[in-house]
Structure 1
Amino acid sequence: MKRLPITLITLAFVLAASCSSQLEGETDESNAYFDLGGLLDKEIDNLTNQGATLEKVLQTNGQEERLTLSPDSAGWHGQLMLFYEADINKPGFIGEYFQEELPSINGVSKVIYTSKSQRNPVQVMECFYENDFMTKIRLLVKEINTIYSVEKELSLYFDQNGLSSFDIKGEETMRLKKDLNYQIQGAIVRSL
């Protein structure tokens, strides 16, 4: 009878250790592709600490609106939400993308992630580099079903200070509704 509690404690310890090692393995696999979410988190921290503002231009079916915003961390997250949603570095996407690295020509190189399936919303993600410094990320998003179709091109631009601007171009077609074409341009303004 004294052996039963010792056996149960040993069994519990072994199970806990195996679960822990499985979680560590999952973490490694979840970084299979470029970590866009992690990059955005770092950029938001920098923008918040620098007191950066956002000059935003919205164009929808020929109408234009200009805004100047002073977002906090949550506000920046909201402004960049479509980019977070387009992050392919998620456990459900492991093995779903081809990765191709184009060789550097005159210091310019590119890494391309292409979806293996039409069912993945992000069809292409391209990371552009100049002399190993990231200058642009471009994402092509496409969702089509019987009710609607959405096509978006999302771009992030970087300079020596980090994220400098972004733009979003999109078309939405929905049954029984007028088509929607839009463009959003955001320019980061940093305090000196």
Structure 2
Amino acid sequence: MKLKNLVFLLSLLLFGCSVGKKSEPIRTGTYFDLVELLDEQIAAFEEERPTLTKELSVNGETDQVIVQFDSAKQWKEELGLFYQADINKLGLETSYVTEELSTGTDIKKVIDSAKTDRPSVRSIEYNYRADRLESIRIIMKDENPVYKFEKELSLYFNVVQGKSVLSSFTISGDQSMILKDELNYSLKAKIGK
């Protein structure tokens, strides 16, 4: 199978669930509001129209593409997995324990960890320096008799005029299904002018 076919299949796998005209889930606001953060970043991108350089590796084959999105909808689809990692959905308000760690002068880490293996989002880690968000790391896992997947998603921010601005993100994971070959993939994306 050619790399372009792999890229297409992986795109469907990663981003096939569109963030379109579905009814919005009820959100509780119990934990850090990842959806609001992403919406703010996308609103800025819609005005600035930055480029996105993506390097995708699937089972050892790598391809690179540069795109520029015309709408917030395209950005939401690109960041779809991060939106799916929202833990402020109704029914999850008591599913996580939040702990705050100070790892040095002006360095802080806040971790939301799942209390059980039930939610697919196992943990979200927020890293701050001088009260400015530097990165978010999300661990997702799910397993049933048919499939098993593990994903690590990360968002990285630069401080621009006192605000944390999304500068890059990564997605990596492994997936296995009955009667299918194991899939190992990674995506590195850099947002630029």
Q: TM-score if structure 1 supplies the norm length?
A: 0.82
Distance (whole Å) between structure 1 residues aligned to residue 104 and residue 141 of structure 2: 30
Alignment partner of 1:93: what SS? Answer: coil
Larger radius of gyration: 1
SS at 2:186 equivalent:
strand
1:42 and 2:40 matched: yes
Tell me which residue corresponds to 1:62: 60
Q: Aligned partners of 2:58 and 2:103: how far apart in 1?
A: 38
> Given residue 52 of structure 2, which amino acid in structure 1 is its aligned partner?
L
Distance in 2 between the 1:52 and 1:116 partners?
39
Q: 1: distance between equivalents of 2:103 and 2:169?
A: 24
User: Partners in 2 of 1:168 and 1:86 — Cα distance?
Assistant: 12
1:110-121 equivalences under 5 Å are: 110-121=109-120
Task: Name the residue aligned to 1:124.
Answer: 123
Q: CA deviation at 1:179?
A: 0.1
* Structure 1 residue 48: Cα displacement: 1.1
Give, in whole Å, the separation in 2 of the partners of 1:43 and 1:141. 22
The structural deviation recorded for 1:92 is 1.9
Residue deviations 1:142-176, cap 9 Å, x none? 01000000100000000014000000010001111
Point out 4+ residue stretches in structure 1 off by more than 4 angstroms: none
Distance 1:172 1:147 in 2: 11
Counterpart for residue 96 of structure 1: 95
5+ long unaligned stretches in structure 2: 1-25
Pairing of 1:2-151 with structure 2 (within 5 A): 30-71=28-69, 72-151=71-150
Distance 2:91 2:137 in 1: 21
Matched residues, number: 163
Q: Using the alignment, how far apart are the partners of 1:130 and 1:85 within structure 2?
A: 26
Q: Does 1:174 align with 2:177?
A: yes
Q: CA deviation at 1:91?
A: 1.6
| Cα distance in structure 1, aligned partners of 2:103 and 2:61 | 41
- In 2, the alpha carbon distance for the partners of 1:64 and 1:79 equals 19
| Alpha-carbon distance in 2 for matches of 1:155, 1:87 | 14
Percent identity of equivalent pairs? 39
Q: Distance in 2 between matches of 1:85 and 1:115?
A: 15
Shift of residue 104, structure 1, vs aligned partner: 4.9
For residues 46 and 149 of structure 2, what CA distance do their matches in structure 1 show? 31
Cα RMSD, aligned residues only: 1.2
Unaligned runs of 5+ in 1: 1-26
Q: Distance in 2 between matches of 1:111 and 1:159?
A: 18
State the distance in 1 between where 2:42 and 2:31 align. 20
AA of the residue aligned to 2:30: A
Measure the CA separation in 2 of the matches of 1:45 and 1:164.
Answer: 14
> How many angstroms does 1:103 deviate by?
2.3
